[in-house]
Amino acid sequence: MITKLYVKTSLFLSQFKNDQRGVTAIEYGLIGVAMAIAVSVAFSVGGDGGFLKELKAAFAKIGTTIATSTSGK
């Protein structure tokens, strides 16, 4: 009885170790989590004086350029 259970458990663990199904999905999930952490860190570091300030300035410059180029026509 115990030998039979040992053999079944050993076979199951061996098959589980060699099973590659779903590995790609897990890898993509980990990459997604890493990207989300990187983006949240980039936006939160420095408060409003870092990346967000530069991003707002760039969009303001783009908006000003569009407004001045369309107002002359």
DSSP assignment string, 17-51: HH--TTHHHHHHHHHHHHHHHHHHHHHHTTTTSSH
Q: Distance between CA 70 and CA 47 in Å, rounded?
A: 34
For residue 37, give every residue at least 6 positions away whose Cβ sits within 8 Å of its Cβ, in sequence order, or none: none
Q: What is the Cα gyration radius of the chain?
A: 27
45: alpha, beta or left? (left if phi > 0; alpha if psi -120 to 50): beta
Q: pTM for the whole thing? A: 0.46
Which band of pLDDT confidence, cut at 50, 70 and 90, is reported for residue 73?
Answer: low
Q: What is the pLDDT of residues 7-56, one digit of tens each?
A: 899 998 888 788 777 778 888 999 999 999 998 887 777 666 677 788 88
- Domain ranges (residues) in the chain: 20-71
